[in-house]
């Protein structure tokens, strides 16, 4: 347990305080910290505390001694993470749809408040959108690098090379460059960015509502603290998995592009409802809520989706009539092919 916590947070013993404190006292400190931090909005202390307690109480419930140690180390980790976030200035290179989704999500979660974010964009209209969120804006990407230590590369892949190489003189090893650009490998980003540490993330647009599904891979010089920081940021707006970089195109196929497929499915379900006589409003609400509920059942019951499908499907009933139609039209095979086509396109894009 100690080995797991300490290296990832580069433990600073100043945060440990008195080792004589009982677990109750540590709880009190954590509670106060939570209260203080959520009030000052510097970071979501409660979120971090919960995360570490979930992770670390599981192993040692039986022993009060170990539990006390555990709380101490959770406290150290939480304090370090809070410090790390307190010193984080996030700059968005490109203030488009994804940057906005991430910025809104981070602010809403309290992990990085809007006033600690900055954005630069060639489109003045997009800068205005960011200003309306309470973030500052920079007149150039170079200026952004001067004010931000975590830079999120959120321009389209086609312009990424020019944007990053233009910024290279202003980038140093003190910058963490988090690229969300589809298909751009870490090796290229590293060439373009020089000394900056690189993390590549493939999130999806649902950052905006705190339900993203993301994958991430670390560049060679990225540190465990970078990994923790990016994980904390994206876990505040959904879920993130560390994957081997060669699998990031597969992540793009499933969850990066996936929302578009699901939006189409919702639209089509609603169209079906309208065709069957429902009003558009009612049909849309029923369709979206059905997708939400079904996803929740998969995540919460942990049952195989096939088993859940069977729960809905009565003998000679309505659902099997619909499933037969979907199977006739190659529904599942169409989705599989869509994911594979997206992943393949990502691979092609990485070769430009
Ligand atoms: N849209 C999505 O659902 C997802 C997109 N991505 C990736 O996120 C990145 C951004 O995508 P979107 O937000 O959809 O695109 P977008 O077109 O909405 O945003 C890109 C922004 O970059 C700005 N820009 C262009 N040149 C610039 C420059 N030289 N300096 C500063 N800003 C500049 C544009 O004006 C625009 O506002 C892409 O690389 C994409 O692959 C990743 C996951 C999901
Ligand atoms: O369509 C695209 O290329 C981007 C990447 C994942 C979602 N949108």
220 and 100: one domain? yes
User: Is 164 a member of any domain?
Assistant: yes
| DSSP assigned state of 170 | G
263 and 157: one domain? no
- The CATH number covering residue 284 comes to 1.10.3730.10
Q: Is the CB of 121 under 6 A from ligand 1?
A: yes
- Ligand 2 atom with least separation from CA of 259: 7
168 and 91: one domain? yes
- The CATH number covering residue 119 comes to 3.40.50.720
Site to substitute for ligand 1 among 97, 192, 264, most atoms within 8 A of C-beta:
97
Strand order in the sheet with 238-242: 136-137, 117-120, 90-93, 150-153, 176-179, 197-202, 212-218, 238-242
What is the 270 CA–ligand 2 centroid distance (Å)? 24
134 and 181: one domain? yes
User: Is 214 a member of any domain?
Assistant: yes
- Cβ(222)–Cβ(197) below 8 Å: yes
Phi, psi of 134 (to 5 degrees): 95, 10
User: Is 249 a member of any domain?
Assistant: no
29 and 125: one domain? no
User: Is 277 a member of any domain?
Assistant: yes
Structural domains in the chain (count): 3
Rg (CA), the chain: 23
What is the 102 CA–ligand 2 centroid distance (Å)? 15
The predicted structure's pLDDT at residue 352 = 74
44 and 111: one domain? no
C-alpha–C-alpha distance, residues 348 and 341, integer Å: 10
97 and 239: one domain? yes
91 and 206: one domain? yes
What is the 180 CA–ligand 2 centroid distance (Å)? 10
* ipTM surpasses cut 0.90: yes
The residue from 85, 119, 149 where one domain ends is 85
How is residue 240 written in tokens?
Answer: 């993130």
User: Is 278 a member of any domain?
Assistant: yes
Taking phi first (over 0 means left), then psi (-120 to 50 degrees means alpha), and beta for anything else, what does residue 283 get? alpha
| DSSP assigned state of 239 | E
What is the 85 CA–ligand 1 centroid distance (Å)? 25
Considering only CA atoms, which residue is closest to atom 8 of ligand 2?
257
- Ligand 1 atom with least separation from CA of 160: 39
- Cβ(163)–Cβ(81) below 8 Å: no
The residue from 60, 85, 110 where one domain ends is 85
Q: Is the CB of 253 under 6 A from ligand 2?
A: no
Instruction: Kindly identify the ligand whose nearest atom is closest to the C-alpha of 137.
Output: 1
Distances in Å between the alpha carbon of 134 and those of 43, 84, 104, 127, 241? Answer: 16, 22, 10, 11, 30
Tens place of pLDDT per residue across the chain (352 aa): 233 333 333 333 333 333 334 444 444 444 444 444 433 333 344 445 545 554 554 444 555 555 665 566 556 655 666 667 778 999 999 999 999 999 999 999 899 999 999 999 999 999 999 999 999 999 999 999 999 999 999 999 999 999 999 999 999 999 999 999 999 999 999 999 999 999 999 999 999 999 999 999 999 999 999 999 999 999 999 999 999 999 999 999 999 999 999 999 999 999 999 999 999 999 999 999 999 999 999 999 999 999 999 999 999 999 999 999 999 999 999 999 999 999 999 999 998 7
What is the 67 CA–ligand 2 centroid distance (Å)? 45
Considering only CA atoms, which residue is closest to atom 15 of ligand 1?
96
User: Is 251 a member of any domain?
Assistant: no
- Ligand 2 atom with least separation from CA of 252: 6
The predicted structure's pLDDT at residue 52 = 54
User: Is 252 a member of any domain?
Assistant: no
59 and 94: one domain? no
Instruction: Give 55's contacts (C-beta < 8 A, 6+ positions apart).
Output: none
Q: Is the CB of 210 under 6 A from ligand 1?
A: no
User: Is 284 a member of any domain?
Assistant: yes
The residue from 34, 56, 85 where one domain ends is 85
- Other beta carbons within 10 Å of 49: 22
What is the 94 CA–ligand 1 centroid distance (Å)? 6
- Ligand 1 atom with least separation from CA of 159: 26
Strand partners for 201: 216
The predicted structure's pLDDT at residue 73 = 59
What is the 155 CA–ligand 1 centroid distance (Å)? 3
The predicted structure's pLDDT at residue 85 = 76
What is the 304 CA–ligand 2 centroid distance (Å)? 28
Domain extent at residue 303:
258-350
- Cβ(266)–Cβ(284) below 8 Å: yes
Q: Is the CB of 122 under 6 A from ligand 1?
A: yes
Instruction: Kindly identify the ligand whose nearest atom is closest to the C-alpha of 130.
Output: 1
189 and 306: one domain? no
60 and 195: one domain? no
- Ligand 2 atom with least separation from CA of 157: 3
46 and 122: one domain? no
Q: Is the CB of 261 under 6 A from ligand 1?
A: no
């Amino acid at each position: 347990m100690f080995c797991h916590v300490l290296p990832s947070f580069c433990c600073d013993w100043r945060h440990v305080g008195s080792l004589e404190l009982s677990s109750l006292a540590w709880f009190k400190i954590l509670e106060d910290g939570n209260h203080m931090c959520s009030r000052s909005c510097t970071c979501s202390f409660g979120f971090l505390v919960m995360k570490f307690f979930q992770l670390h109480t599981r192993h040692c419930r039986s022993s009060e001694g170990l539990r006390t140690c555990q709380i101490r180390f959770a406290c150290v980790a939480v304090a370090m993470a809070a410090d790390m976030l307190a010193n984080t200035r996030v700059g968005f290179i490109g203030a488009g749809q994804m940057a906005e989704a991430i910025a809104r999500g981070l602010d809403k979660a309290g992990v990085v408040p809007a006033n600690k974010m900055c954005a630069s964009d060639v489109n003045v209209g997009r800068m205005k959108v960011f200003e309306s969120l309470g973030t500052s804006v920079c007149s150039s990407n170079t200026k952004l690098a001067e004010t931000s230590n975590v830079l999120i590369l959120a321009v389209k892949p086609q312009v990424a090379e020019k944007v990053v190489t233009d910024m290279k003189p202003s980038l140093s090893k003190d910058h963490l460059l988090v690229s969300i650009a589809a298909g751009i490998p870490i090796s290229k980003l590293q060439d373009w960015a020089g000394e900056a540490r690189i993390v590549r993330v493939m999130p999806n647009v649902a950052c905006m509502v705190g339900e993203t599904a993301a994958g991430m891979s670390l560049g060679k010089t990225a540190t465990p603290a970078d990994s923790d920081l990016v994980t904390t940021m994206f876990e505040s707006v959904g879920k993130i998995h560390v994957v081997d970089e060669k699998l990031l195109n597969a992540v793009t196929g499933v969850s990066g592009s996936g929302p578009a497929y699901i939006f189409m499915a919702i639209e089509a379900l609603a169209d079906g409802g309208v065709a069957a006589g429902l009003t558009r409003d009612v049909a849309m609400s029923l369709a979206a809520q059905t997708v939400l509920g079904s996803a929740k059942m998969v995540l919460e019951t942990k049952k195989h989706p096939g088993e859940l499908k069977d729960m809905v499907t009565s003998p000679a009933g309505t659902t099997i009539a619909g499933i037969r139609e979907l199977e006739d039209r190659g529904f599942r095979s169409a989705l599989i092919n869509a994911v594979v086509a997206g992943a393949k396109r990502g691979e092609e894009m990485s070769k430009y």
